[in-house]
Homo-oligomer: A and B are copies of this chain.
Amino acid sequence: MTDTAALVASLLERVQVLEDKAAIQEVLSAYGPAVDAGDADAVGELWAEDAVYDIDIRVMEGRDAITEMVRTRPHQDYINEGCGHLLDPVHIRVDGDTAVATCHSLLLRRNLDADSFRVWRVTANRFELARIDGSWKIKRRTARLLDGSDAARELLARASR
């Protein structure tokens, strides 16, 4: 192999990693808009078929359970009253066909008696993703309220591992 061919081979690998991070960024930044639109199908497409969404008070198993959550109460009540599901910049570690993404999430809800919103939940999030048939999908999301408990702290401490 010539020097140029070797450089091109290494560039291909480096560009693939950058594209993987951009693709994961695209999946995670699509979540908030889809869930606040109440678009259950768009939310569902972001998850693997056998995905698990583990929050403080319940565990949803499978894509259908997750889209059902979007379609029903209390989620629909939040939307109808006015809400925003936001993330902050995501820490992403890619390892071949899997990745871990760590960030905070905010659930903001409109105050019905005032011209403002309240910060209802501030949550620690760990997303485990996999490349499935060429597309990155969420395999597991673990979310723990930042209420001083060890669970949220331990989840955040695993960001770089």
Contact = CB atoms under 8 A, between A and B. Distances in A.
A92 B28 CA distance: 11
A37 B103 contact: no
Interface stretch (A52-60, A62-70, A77-85, A131-139): A77-85
Given A21-B22, A79-B153, A118-B116, A86 B110 contact: no
Q: How many copies does the complex hold?
A: 3
Contact of A154 (B30, B37, B145): B37
Interface of A: 2, 4-5, 7-8, 11-12, 14-15, 18-19, 21-22, 25-26, 28-30, 32-34, 36-39, 42, 79-84, 86-92, 102-104, 106, 108, 110, 115-122, 124, 145-148, 152-154, 156-157, 159-160
